[in-house]
Amino acid sequence: MALAHRIAKWVNDLNYEDLPDKTIHEAKRRVIDSLAAALGAYWSRPAKVARAKAMAAHDSPPSALVWGTNHHTPPELAAFANGTMVRYLDYNDTYLSLEPAHPSDNIAPAVAVAQTAGKGGKDLILSIVIGYEIQCRMCDAAGLRTGGWDHVTYGALSTAALAGKLWDLTEEQLVHALGVAGVSNINTRQTRVGQISDWKACAFANVGRNGIFAADLARRGLTGPHEIFEGPKGLIKQLTLPGLTDLVLGSPGDLMIDKTYIKYWPAEYHSQSAIDAALQLRSRVERKEIKEILIKSFEAAVSIIGSEPEKLRPASRETADHSMFYCVAAALADGEVTLATFGEHRLTDAKILGLIDKTKIVEDPELNKGYPKGIPNDITITCTDGTKVNKRVDFPRGHAENPMTDDEVVAKFRRMSHAVITDKTADRILEMAWDLDKLDDVTPLFRFPVVVL
């Protein structure tokens, strides 16, 4: 059986009743966390541009809500606008493997299609689990980054599948949806190279938009390219992804959403353990003059956030939160890493830049052995008076091996939402999110009045 048919059969066979209570609870946590990230990004330029694009479309049912408004728009545009909000701050959840990814990027597309399909909370939870499973299993099977391709390429397939489930597509229609989504959404990694632009926030939102579009076309009878994975010009050959041939999707009790990580700090995930280590060391050096900061790390972190010259002098928020140099320097300078850490005025802060100039990042073969099970970063700080301190962190707070509590997830939501919605609205959203499986209509969860700045 071809891979697209195997995926389609798995999607078609999985039911809400198959999901363990733990998996259902994790889905609710991811919805709350994604809303936190979206609210924190609500007033950002990419979020405003994406909302304006979505709200320019006519409101004709069935349609989906642009979060934080009363405007309904086609599901593809709602997924794009809402997905951009979720992704902008780089504060949504993460999964690390042969290919790193942010699987909660699947949530905005799932919400949009659930609304247009008239589905309730249980169906939304099931579709989210499906999106996570397909994207993360593909990340386990084959890496895209080494070939210069972007992880969002897998997202077109995962969102097409979850949309197909919500629209009750047959197995054959799901195969066609995967074919359309796969053949037309191959993305290069230039999105994440050098000085990083607004587009990084939109990259998955765009393939999510296209995954929905592919599923909708298949729903209406359009056929997709045959053997999208194994074909002579298919994804496996063209992108050099032989591992996908043996891809196996999980079963209840072994589902990928349970293995993903919620972010504790608003920065690229490979930097989380370095931030953690730096904050633990800070009290031991804060009254001393630092001579050198040596960060030993692993290949993925060095390649993605620890080697390009642009990371030494980030000129945008997007580049700063993807610079291990900047994140560690800011942690040592401020004793915290928050959204304010990446404000425009901080990018030229003399204290942070001075610490960056004293920082060296090197790849350590021993630390490579600890990835992707962990994200081992080892920091040694040497001071001018001869003091030398060291800390290694493999599993920062929020990692699957060191997970955040429900209370910490809620606290993150309240921090991100306080400048956008009232406390009363936040209470209502949290109540509905924890009862997501009881909602017949998910729209009220995402319709909330925004405090106008």
Task: Give mean pLDDT, residues 362-378.
Answer: 97
Q: How buried is residue 118: exposed, middle or buried, by Cβ count under 10 Å (0-12/13-18/19+)?
A: exposed
Q: Which two tokens stand for residue 313?
A: 């002098």
- The strand pairing partners of 391, in sequence order, are 379
Rg of the chain over CA atoms, in angstroms? 21
Q: Cα separation of 327 and 127, whole Å? A: 35
Q: Domains along the chain?
A: 3-259 (1.10.4100.10), 269-393 (3.30.1330.120)
Block residue for tokens 């620890």: 306
Q: Which comes out higher in pLDDT, residue 60 or 185? A: 185
Q: What is the pLDDT of residues 71-94, one digit of tens each?
A: 999 999 999 999 999 999 999 999
Q: Which two tokens stand for residue 221?
A: 């009878």
Task: Give mean pLDDT, residues 226-243.
Answer: 97
Tally the C-alpha atoms within 13 A of residue 302's C-alpha that lie toward its C-beta. 19
Q: What is the pLDDT of residues 45-59, one digit of tens each?
A: 999 999 999 999 876
Residue type, 161: A
pLDDT of residue 453: 62
Question: Which run of H or E residues covers position 115?
Answer: helix 107-117
Nearest to 276 by CA among 216, 336, 326: 336
Q: What is the pLDDT of residues 102-130, one digit of tens each?
A: 999 999 999 999 999 999 999 999 999 99
Band (444; pLDDT cuts 50, 70, 90):
very high
Band (208; pLDDT cuts 50, 70, 90):
very high
3-state secondary structure of 439: coil
pLDDT of residue 61: 79
427 vs 27, 54, 111, 290, 434, CA distance in Å?
19, 27, 20, 44, 11
Mean pLDDT for all residues in the chain? 96
Question: Which run of H or E residues covers position 378?
Answer: strand 377-383
Kindly report the pTM of this predicted structure: 0.95
pLDDT at 60 over 90: no
Question: Which run of H or E residues covers position 64?
Answer: strand 64-65
